[in-house]
Structure 1
Amino acid sequence: MMDNSVIKKLSEELADNLNNNILPYWLRLEDPAGGYFGRKDSSETLHPEEPRGCILNARILWTFAAAARATGNQEYADAARRQFAWFTKHFIDPEYGGCYWSVNADDTPLDTKKQFYAIAFSIYALSEYYMLTKDEKALNTAIDLFHIIETHSRDHNGEGYFEATTRDWQPIGDMRLSDKDLNSSKTMNTHLHILEGYTNLLRVWRTDESIEATASLLRLFNDTIVDKDSNHMGLFFDDNMQRVDHAISYGHDIEASWLMLEAAEVIGNKALYEETKEVTRKLALAALEGLQPDGSLIYERHEDGRLDSERHWWVQAENIVGLTYLARYHDMPEALDKALRCWDYVKANIVDTENGEWWWSRLPDGTINRREDKAGFWKCPYHNSRMCLETLRQLPNIKIHHAHHAITS
């Protein structure tokens, strides 16, 4: 029978991984001239000439601000302050507003398109930084970015949010986040992270406008983005929010299952909360179709039914949080056992105990994926740091009776 000693050991391991494995790695990647180096590959070779992406740098700002708030660690708070000053100086477009997609290694603008996914992460980070420092510039910049998304991304003739524009808010041909995506005008991924950013902003700037936008977006997930038949989310949509794909992303399903419920909790509408609670329970259980006997969660199912069984670092992190939410909010204590088993998998297979941070993934044959970076445009400290912080926050509130597990050393 699981007891409090198991929860205590898990908490200690998560705190240790955050403070002694993940965050020190990123502190070492800070550029003395400002910001963070754009890439470090799997062999620990630094590539200082690589461009610096908005997503990575917004996530770094969020991570150190959130870690500083949770731990009181002054080193994290100082890192967040330096990153805030550098980020707002080099990524906020002084002429048209919004955020550049990337800058060069010398901090000059590189790709100046406006990808609303990146702007949403900037809101997420700036809101967190405001909670740490009460710096009015951070809050006002986050509010400005909220208004930019509402003005230039929200579909005022239909539903949802468009993906991207040119620097000066004109239509753009290629709206994709990456070359792996369909070039569709609306995506689940961008909607999910706008919801995430708006939820954090709502904690510090609660107005009729911010409540309406966040609640409307959450209802779109409940009614449209989550498929009523399969309980999985659609990934790509057309202008009219009609689904244009049939793939399943187990990682995004489990991530959304807790981000949506978090949003409903912050919004505070009881009816919307209860509706979202039911949708997210089904969504999380559908995501667990990808759960493997070793405790890990595989990546996705392709449109043709083939499974991509790569074990990505971020999918494991979100799986642990999603399972923790099932245990806490959905009265499923057995889900905590699954979370613990996934953590055991992460410790044994994903954490780089020699150099710090986590590997990108384990390939289907079980080997470490050394083709992808340890730090880069998409490889960041946000998923794994947030897993540690959020799970530590939720664990004291979970009823642990009926759950069985022994953490492996």
Structure 2
Amino acid sequence: MIGLEAHLKTIIIPFWKNLKDMENGGFFGKVDYQLKTHKNSDKTLISISRYLYAFSLWYGYFKEDDLLEDASHAYQFLIEHLRDEIHGGYYWQVTYDGLPSDVTKHVYGHAFAIYALSEYAKITDNKKSLEEALSIFELIEQKAHLGEFSYHEEFTNKWLMKDNELLSEHGANLPYTTNTLLHLLEAYTNLYRASKNTVVKARLIELINGFTKTLYDDKEILFHMYLDHNKQVRRVGQSFGHDIETCWLIDDACLAIDYHRSDIEQMTKNVAEKVYERAFTKNGLYSESIHGRICKDRIWWIQAEALVGFYNHYQKYKDNRYAQATISIYEFIKTYIVDDRPNSEWLWGVDENLEPLKYRGIAEGWKAAYHNGRAIIELLKRGLS
């Protein structure tokens, strides 16, 4: 695994730094496949939060002042332009110059704001950042929490409930997604590490137990992707990327709060091994299986999460297959996912023939400095280089 730090510092970090918008704040919202920067594209809560998280994470590791400056730049835009000062919470999206363009409130986006603000608080003496993260936590718990292991996800700007249009995929039109719950889990884990707040810890335990008791299928060995209006699992398929990501994030959450149970340990072990069995190939990890049909696209974020997920599994059980899988996926990333054109980063992905997916950009609302930037840091912290 030679070259992880160089990969981060010569490919990933420079690309995202170059998208810093010095005139209007934040970071430019889109770079298309042709590497054209769309300076007038909207800026999303998700992407700005991910910039704040990533630059804070990178500064925490490298201690380089310019990374802290970039994190502070993202923090300022998040607070000044995406926060709704009237009704509370954060807008889904604003224009390039910071005016509200989609005032929807979504728990998924707020989870990333918590995640990012917590990381920023950990690397600075900015007490307001941690206070803001805790206030978002309290708002989500007040407005969205529906009882044991369920959150309403989508709201109007005035926090009136509406259908979950932004995150319900695969034609399911379902109100509760594992995707949102997963990112609440990682956000609350980071918030607990920064705050040691006992209420946050209690919600983390609830989330972990919900994955164990509700979303985990011990026969199919996967985490279900959706719950219906009656909070019953809806069998749609398996997201290989989310499943391997969930395994290491649950392990990390349990570590953060010192919460260990054999059934949780067995669950993450089973799911990680099934993802390996069903989706790992010599050319990366498949995307998902929906209604029995496997999508063989190799998407950038799925490869990044597989790096951490498989290496985490190797560290726990010392099964060399998972160390080799980590190396294999990293080599695949360098060969097929890294865009070798100047001033680019990772592609969105490649199809089953290993041809680039040109219909998605190099940077956009759903692709920002997060999955791959975090994965490399995780591997470095775990002793790889």
| TM-score interval for Structure 1 and Structure 2 normalised by the shorter chain | over 0.9
Are 1:132 and 2:118 matched, yes or no? no
Shift of 1:290: 3.6
Are 1:256 and 2:246 matched, yes or no? yes
Deviation readout 1:116-145 (Å, 9 max, x if unpaired): 000000000000000010211100000000
Letter in 1 for 2:117: L
Match of 2:77 in 1: 86
Q: Across the two proteins, how many residue pairs are aligned to each other?
A: 383
Contact 2:178–2:226 (Cα < 8 Å) also in 1: yes
The equivalent position to 2:298 in structure 1, one of 311, 317, 321, is: 311
C-alpha distance in 2, partners of 1:275/1:179? 30
SS in structure 2 of the partner of residue 203 of structure 1: helix
SS in structure 2 of the partner of residue 119 of structure 1: helix
Match of 1:3 in 2: none
SS in structure 2 of the partner of residue 395 of structure 1: coil
Identical counterparts, % of pairs? 30
C-alpha distance in 2, partners of 1:140/1:322? 31
Match of 2:257 in 1: 267
Farther off after superposition, 278-287 or 308-317 = 278-287
Deviation readout 1:62-96 (Å, 9 max, x if unpaired): 00000000111211111001111111111111111
Contact 2:297–2:352 (Cα < 8 Å) also in 1: yes
Are 1:95 and 2:108 matched, yes or no? no
Contact 1:176–1:183 (Cα < 8 Å) also in 2: no
Letter in 1 for 2:201: I
Shift of 1:269: 2.2
C-alpha distance in 2, partners of 1:199/1:277? 17
Match of 1:6 in 2: none
The equivalent position to 1:244 in structure 2, one of 229, 234, 237, is: 234
Shift of 1:330: 2.8
Farther off after superposition, 293-302 or 313-322 = 293-302
Contact 2:152–2:161 (Cα < 8 Å) also in 1: no
The equivalent position to 2:113 in structure 1, one of 101, 113, 122, is: 122
Change (3 A) 1:178 1:46: farther
Are 1:365 and 2:353 matched, yes or no? yes
C-alpha distance in 1, partners of 2:372/2:163? 34
The equivalent position to 1:283 in structure 2, one of 268, 271, 290, is: 271
Superposition RMSD on alpha carbons, in Å?
1.6
TM-score for the superposition, normalised by structure 2 = 0.96
Deviation readout 1:290-347 (Å, 9 max, x if unpaired): 43432410001111x1110000000101011001101112332331111001101000
The answer for unaligned runs of 5 or more in structure 1 is 1-9, 397-406
Deviation readout 1:220-271 (Å, 9 max, x if unpaired): 0011111121121111112332112321111111111100110011111233
Letter in 2 for 1:282: N
Are 1:155 and 2:146 matched, yes or no? yes
Contact 2:30–2:37 (Cα < 8 Å) also in 1: yes
Structure 1 runs (4+) deviating above 6 angstroms are none
Instruction: List aligned pairs for 1:289-308, cutoff 5 A.
Output: 289-303=277-291, 305-308=292-295
Match of 1:208 in 2: 198
Match of 2:173 in 1: 183
Contact 2:149–2:206 (Cα < 8 Å) also in 1: no
Contact 1:103–1:109 (Cα < 8 Å) also in 2: yes
The answer for unaligned runs of 5 or more in structure 2 is none
SS in structure 2 of the partner of residue 99 of structure 1: coil
Match of 2:222 in 1: 232
C-alpha distance in 2, partners of 1:224/1:330? 26
Greater share of residues in strand: 2
TM-score for the superposition, normalised by structure 1 = 0.90
Match of 2:383 in 1: 395
Contact 1:155–1:161 (Cα < 8 Å) also in 2: yes
C-alpha distance in 1, partners of 2:280/2:15? 29
Change (3 A) 1:111 1:348: same
C-alpha distance in 1, partners of 2:278/2:377? 24
Match of 1:401 in 2: none
C-alpha distance in 2, partners of 1:159/1:79? 36
C-alpha distance in 2, partners of 1:176/1:234? 19
Letter in 2 for 1:367: E
